[in-house]
Amino acid sequence: MTAPTASDLAAAALATPAAPSEADTADAIAQLADVAGHASTVLFNWRRDNPAAADVDRALNLEMTLDQRAIDLRCKAVKLLGAQAADAVAQIQDAAQKVDAFLGTVKKIGDRLAIASAVVGLAGAALVGDAGGVLQAVVSVHGALKAAQA
């Protein structure tokens, strides 16, 4: 078996699939990048191991082209991932903000609860021996809380 020339390697590299369309998935584009990157590496190692080969300049040019293609395709894959996941990223970041807003609201509720708890405390002390009075005061806390949360 004869050793492959730069032309053989170039032909193999160029036989890789055509440039991806917008419909291709990020994974498919990343796979194309791998093909281009691998072909570039093969050419690099061939050139380094065969410095006296006649078509070494051609190998270098093609290697650089494929190397740049791999970079561009990886960049495209990440951008596509970003576009595909943009809504999901926005949604879970929005969820995080809603939690912050909710916990902020809880603190505001706390201010209003201060009044309600005072009612309970005073009613509980004033209505000594009146079981219904204490329970009524608890109900008033529920009411105050619901009003504050509304």
Name which of residues 96 to 125 contact another protein (CB under 8 A): 96, 98-100, 102-103, 106-107, 109-110, 113-114, 116-118, 120-125
Contact indicator for 39, 9 with CB cutoff of 8 Å: yes
CB atoms within 10 A of CB 133: 13
Binders of another protein among residues 2 to 21 (CB under 8 A) are none
| φ/ψ of residue 128, rounded to 5 | -60, 130
| End-to-end Cα spacing for the chain | 82
Q: Is 65 exposed, middle or buried (0-12, 13-18, 19+ CB in 10 A)?
A: middle
Q: Which is nearer to another protein, 2 or 51 (CB)?
A: 51
Residue 14 or 122 with smaller CB distance to another protein: 122
DSSP conformation letters of 37-49:
HHHHHHHHHHHHH
Where does this chain touch another protein (CB under 8 A) — which range of 1-9, 16-24, 73-81?
Answer: 73-81
User: Would you say 39 and 12 are in contact if contact means Cβ atoms under 8 Å apart?
Assistant: yes
Residue 7 or 45 with smaller CB distance to another protein:
45
Comparing CB distances to another protein, the nearer of 17 and 133 is 133
Mask 22-41, x = binds another protein (CB under 8 A)?
Answer: ----xx--xx-xx--xx-xx
The nearest distance, CB 107 to another protein, in angstroms, is 8
- The distance from CA 98 to its chain's CA centroid, rounded to whole angstroms, is 19
Residue 58 is a binding residue for another protein (CB under 8 A): no
